[in-house]
Amino acid sequence: MATLEMERRLKANRVEVFRFLTEGENLLQWWGPEGTTIPEHNLDFASLGPWWARMVGPSGDGAKVGGDVVRLEPPTSVELTLSFFHEDGSKGPQSVIKFELFSEGPEETRLCLTQTGLEAEHIEDMRNKGWNSALERLATLVHSHQRSN
């Protein structure tokens, strides 16, 4: 199994970034690549336990993903499992996603994302087609929120 690691710097304090990473109404605005909608979900990483989301891409293709929030340490980290569901409702292979937040000043946070349990051949797709876009959406959301305050 392989590990994906990514890092972003966000122009907001760690508490604010943690809210965008964990609260359902915020997650709906950035979870998934650009153009993704989430018409059905139980998407909230602010408490331990199960979560799921049906994600629909711009082409209309959809996928159900889900797992459990397994560790929550506000405002520094959240860890969750993630599996894609097959059409018959069974779960595919599970990976573990960990978001860690580090204060880099009063209004700057370094976000480190680690996803373990991936097949090596899926790493670049997850990075290029998934996380790069989702994290860019998160950065834009955080930045626009900071400007409006």
pLDDT tens per residue across span 82-138: 999 998 989 989 999 999 999 998 899 999 999 999 887 766 766 667 899 999 999
Sorted by where each starts, the structural domains of the chain and their CATH numbers stand as: 2-122+130-148 (3.30.530.20)
pLDDT digits (tens, 9 = 90+) for 1-55: 888 899 999 999 999 999 999 999 999 999 988 899 999 999 999 999 999 999 9
Cross-strand bridge partners of residue 41: 53
Residue 64 above 90 pLDDT?
yes
- At residue 144, the pLDDT reads 86
- At residue 104, the pLDDT reads 96
- At residue 54, the pLDDT reads 95
Query: pTM value?
Result: 0.91
